[in-house]
A and B are shown apart, each in its own frame.
Chain A
Amino acid sequence: MSDQQLQGKVIEALKTVKDPDLHKDIVSLGFVKNMKVEKGSVSFDVELTTPACPVKEQLKTECETKVRAIDGVSSVSVNMTAVVRSTEHSQPILTGVKNIIAVASGKGGVGKSTVAANLAIALKLSGAKVGLMDADVYGPSIPQMLGIPISPPKGGPDNKFFPHEKYGMKVVSAAFLTKQGQPLMLRGPMLGGIIQQFLQNVEWGELDYLVIDLPPGTGDVQLTLTQRAPLSGAVVVTTPQEVSLIDADKGVKMFQQVKVPLLGVVENMSYFVCDGCGKKHYIFKSGGGKALADRFSIPFLGEVPLIGEVVEGGDSGVPVLIGHPESPASLAYKSLAGQVAAQLSINQAKEDKPETSFELAWKS
């Protein structure tokens, strides 16, 4: 068989490999690139929509197995790559940012910032370019969690300023705008101004994902962001007990009202694993996050356990994913990042998208 005939067979075989999230085969999706067939030796790239793809290894194995099974193939080399697709928008801000993920909660104290920081790190560790915006103006905690000393951001031309960098991520926080330990006392309209600055004046550069850590609740900051920023989706964080769920419920409804796609619900502090007996203790009850997700028919993105390593990581500035990459919490965050990235890819693959951003000048 000629190499050309063999290439045809390889493509036929790859047409049977389906992306489980996008429900199409990888050839029709245009993922297969740079195919070379030389004397029975086959090599090609599979370009996924996110490096955080949860089924990357599974797809790779399936490609290798199916191609190797073809008569005349002597060797197979599959190279997995990723180019993050961008959520379409034509707003003149954040133009280099492909996806904007808001992390929100109804209630405070559910670990939203911890989830936001670790979600950002997990996406970064998968190989993506990531930014983290700490929009919790009254209680900014991201600098502490990432171990970034409070210092004013470096200014650039045209009123622009540069984000801080840590763990390979770009970070802005309201904390950098004040002196260490000083409270930021502001009325509503000023809050909007700060958020507007974060959106317009920060030199983010090219990013695959920008994670925004929102303040708790459904107030000024949330409204400004949903009106001004082209959000790709929102993740709602809750703890399992009813007091937290009633507020998370409102958070979900807020995003529904302003039509921001809900990527799903994360349940934080789901259980504590006793170091003596190894048993999971569901301190704040169990199943609340899943029930909330089911009620709105949105994805449940998993349970993050309550363990000392997470707290210690947050306080020391070395997040659990960096300090204890194999901890159950780290694994939960990696799975969360994979699912969030997959949901964004699914949304972008949808047809019949609304016109998300437009301006119409009336002619008379």
Chain B
Amino acid sequence: MTVTAKTDSSQPSPKKVRQIDETTLGITWTDGHESVYSVKMLREKCPCANCIDEWTGEKRIKPGMIPDSIRPKNIKSVGLYAIQFYWSDGHDTGLYPHELLRKLCECEECKKARAASGKN
């Protein structure tokens, strides 16, 4: 048999998810990439229907709305494709697909790549 079952191989998955320090989350991906995230940024980018209007796409979280003291309390995998955060402000409806987390990566390499492409 030449073809084998697969998930989309262009889509890496988290291999290890860990807390780096008080405010930083780290993810090691199956393709070897090492991502780092500030937890406040992750809370601000929550993709749930409460935080991003489902119909208009309008962002309901305005700059400055999320306090610096925000922390995740618990982080869980959802199925094989996403991660759910339970935040210290009680919010827990955001499922962050792996694809989104890759886009939000704040490692030096990704930040440079984004700056070069003119985004953020």
Residues of A participating in the B interface, judged by any CB pair closer than 8 Å: 20-21, 226-228, 230-231, 233, 256-264, 293, 297-300, 339, 342-344, 346-347, 352-364
Contacts and interface: CB of A to CB of B under 8 A. Distances in A.
Contact of A359 (B3, B16, B76): B76
A200 to B, nearest CB: 16
Given A298-B5, A361-B74, 9 more contacts: A20-B1, A259-B79, A293-B3, A299-B4, A354-B15, A354-B30, A355-B77, A360-B76, A362-B73
Nearest to A253: B8
A360 B18 contact: yes
Contacts of B78: 227
A264 B17 contact: no
Contacts of A20: 1
A362 B75 contact: yes
Interface in B66-95: 71-82, 95
Contacts of B18: 360
Interface string B11-24: 10111111100100
Contacts of B56: none
Report, as a range, how many residues of chain B touch the other chain. Answer: 20 to 34
List of 10 A-B pairs having minimum Cβ-Cβ separation, nearest first: A354-B13, A259-B81, A343-B5, A259-B80, A360-B75, A258-B81, A227-B79, A263-B5, A362-B72, A226-B79
A362 B4 contact: no
A22 B11 CA distance: 23
A355 B16 contact: yes
Most A C-beta atoms less than 10 A away, residue of B5, B14, B71: B5
Nearest to B4: A346
B45 interface: no
A259 to B, nearest CB: 4
Contacts of B98: 259
A242 B33 CA distance: 40
B17 to A, nearest CB: 6
5 contacts: A298-B3, A300-B3, A339-B1, A346-B4, A360-B76
